[in-house]
Structure 1
Amino acid sequence: MEPPSSYTAPASTPDIIIEDRGWRRLVPRLEERVLRSIRVAQSAVPDVIVDTVVLTDDRRVQRLNARHRGRNKPTNVLTFEPAGWGVGGEIVLALGQLRREAAAERKSLAQHLAHLLVHGVLHLDGEDHHHPGDARRMEMAESRILARLGVPNPWRAAR
């Protein structure tokens, strides 16, 4: 079904909702980094509109993951596709999970945040990583976008 001819896309600047104050304490220039990551990712997939980025904690993400995916555990990022015309997608990130992953991978929280924002934008574009070929394609797209952000390829060390 096509949107009505009066359809207007929402503004390209997403709302940033910071529910866990730790985000501000741990990521310098947080809002600037979030907006830049989203903007660069959207330049690679221009049809994706991110309406909201929620920076929250593991508990909230675990509840959302249980409710919407049937998995009662925290995860690093969740994406929610637009609910209707004129409504952009939402990206939700869990601070504790990102901190643990960044520490385990020996990278900064800011770099890992950029990676998962790009990952979320690609999910909103329909990309997925359930099958090896899909995962590889998504990883390649992520690494190309992250290079434009000055973030090292997160997959290079894993290979």
Structure 2
Amino acid sequence: MRRVYIDLAVDCDDCAVPSRPALVRWCKAALAEAEGSMRLGLRVVAESEAAELNGRFRGRPGPTNVLSFPYHDAPLGKTRFLGDIVICAPLVKAEASRAGYPENAHWAHLVIHGILHLQGLDHETDQDARVMEARETRILTGLGFRDPYR
């Protein structure tokens, strides 16, 4: 039986975070095409931690909305550990508000975006971006959200 395990950690005071069932549903949707059982970490942080991680691991100043840290060749028995995703809750809220996009939809997009990075997709080239965005759109519309790129 295929299973998805999500280790959720919220380290952000006064941050609105979607329900665990919603987060699990989005994670499973992003992993629907993957084989076998998987585990991943999902950490929700404030802007200060997002900025520190962004500077340390990407060499970029300031916070970012989502960071992915893939783990390669990390089996846990029959379960494969994909890695960790870090999401900055205050940025999710601010970006959704600025874009006029429902906050829950933006959360879903960033969770899915982060998981696709854990699976090896990226958007470094135009072609890679088209592939990743098409997959994100397919997953999000399958969950009832609109295309975030339109």
TM range (shorter): 0.7 to 0.9
1:91-138 deviations in Å (ceiling 9; x for gaps): 100012111110111112111000001101111111111211111111
1:53 paired residue number: 42
Structure 2 counterpart of 1:13, which letter?
A: Y
Aligned-pair RMSD on alpha carbons?
2.0
1:2-43 deviations in Å (ceiling 9; x for gaps): xxxxxxxxx6221110111433xx345x21111110011100
Q: 1:109 to 1:48 in 2, by over 3 A?
A: farther
**Alpha-carbon separation, structure 1, partners of 2:37 and 2:92:** 23
Answer whether contact 2:47 2:91 (CA < 8 A) is retained: yes
1:20 paired residue number: 12
- Other structure's SS at 2:9 match: strand
**Alpha-carbon separation, structure 2, partners of 1:15 and 1:100:** 25
2:55 paired residue number: 66
Name whichever of 88-97 and 38-47 sits farther off: 38-47
Name whichever of 119-128 and 48-57 sits farther off: 48-57
Answer whether contact 2:66 2:85 (CA < 8 A) is retained: yes
Answer whether contact 1:47 1:125 (CA < 8 A) is retained: no
Q: TM-score normalised to the size of structure 1? A: 0.82
Q: 1:142 to 1:48 in 2, by over 3 A?
A: farther
Q: 1:137 to 1:47 in 2, by over 3 A?
A: farther
1:139 paired residue number: 133
1:69-96 deviations in Å (ceiling 9; x for gaps): 1112110100001165223310100012
**Alpha-carbon separation, structure 1, partners of 2:36 and 2:127:** 23
Answer whether contact 1:56 1:92 (CA < 8 A) is retained: yes
1:152 paired residue number: 146
Answer whether contact 1:49 1:89 (CA < 8 A) is retained: no
Answer whether contact 1:81 1:90 (CA < 8 A) is retained: yes
2:107 paired residue number: 113
Structure 1: runs of 5+ lacking an equivalent = 1-10
Structure 1 counterpart of 2:11, which letter?
A: E
**Alpha-carbon separation, structure 2, partners of 1:78 and 1:27:** 17
